[in-house]
Structure 1
Amino acid sequence: MTAELRHRAVRIYQPTRNTMQSGSGKSERWRIDWEILQGAGRWENPLMGYASSADYMQGTRISFRTKEDAIHFATKQGWDYYVQQPTVKKIPPKNYAENFVYKPNQLRIMRTK
């Protein structure tokens, strides 16, 4: 294994849901991504505009059940890693009656005609 790959940092994180998803399926899994190498031979196809890279690890993702499994795998492989803490999911309470509650200094209905 080359020296730059062994001393390359990996990011361990829990991916957020896609904005098009309403459910929480597969959101508890943890993932490992490799950081982008400096001067990794990135180029763009001038005709089609596709971005390419000589870095074969850039598109590789590994998924784990827990954060501890991902950390154990990274240390077993000898990779430098850092853990990105997951974002806190904020779900505001929704109530239909809140649409009609008077709130001072807030325009509720905007008439355009």
Structure 2
Amino acid sequence: MLARIYQPARNAMTSGQAKTKTWVLEFSPEEARGIDPLMGWTSSSDMNSQIRLMFESKEAAVDYASSNGIPFTVSDPHKRKQNLRSGGYGDNFATNRRAVWTH
């Protein structure tokens, strides 16, 4: 029943940073998922795979796992590099460009 503590990455479809500030504790699956022969759905009898705990900080998640005797691994996030343009977003629509800009 090994747990993984990590900070989720941002959604690839947006540039927003929503839901990336919290830390998550998830349990790794103890058994493989099986396919139901009648309906074709995947299922598992592992109830811990449904648990996902959110914490405000990494220390809080580590303290929770340590106090409850849960073995865990911590995955530190890879921070993205800030994309700062000299003119900012308005530079996309500037009329004094040196080169032609098209779509």
The answer to whether TM tops 0.5 is yes
Between 1:59-68 and 1:44-53, the stretch displaced more is 44-53
For 1:25, give the aligned amino acid.
A
**Structure 2 contact 8–24 (Cα < 8 Å) conserved:** yes
The normalised TM-score by structure 2 is 0.74
Measured against aligned partners, the alpha-carbon deviations of 1:61-93 in whole angstroms (never above 9, x if no partner) come to: 000000000000000100111100111213434
Residue 45, structure 1, aligned to residue 39, structure 2:
no
2:61 aligns with one of 70, 81, 85: 70
Query: Take 2:38 and 2:64, find their aligned partners in 1: how far apart are those partners?
Result: 41
Structure 1 gap segments, 5+ residues each: 1-7, 102-113
Query: Take 1:93 and 1:64, find their aligned partners in 2: how far apart are those partners?
Result: 30
**Structure 2 contact 33–44 (Cα < 8 Å) conserved:** yes
Structure 2 gap segments, 5+ residues each: 86-90
Query: Take 1:13 and 1:46, find their aligned partners in 2: how far apart are those partners?
Result: 35
**Structure 1 contact 41–54 (Cα < 8 Å) conserved:** no
2:28 aligns with one of 35, 47, 62: 35
The residue matched to 2:54 in structure 1 has which SS? strand
- Taking only the aligned residue pairs, the percentage that are identical comes to 33
Q: Aligned residue pairs: how many?
A: 94
Query: Take 2:35 and 2:69, find their aligned partners in 1: how far apart are those partners?
Result: 32
The normalised TM-score by structure 1 is 0.68
Indicate the RMSD between aligned Cα atoms, in angstroms: 2.7
When residues 43 and 15 of structure 1 are mapped into structure 2, their CA distance, relative to the original with a 3 A threshold, is same
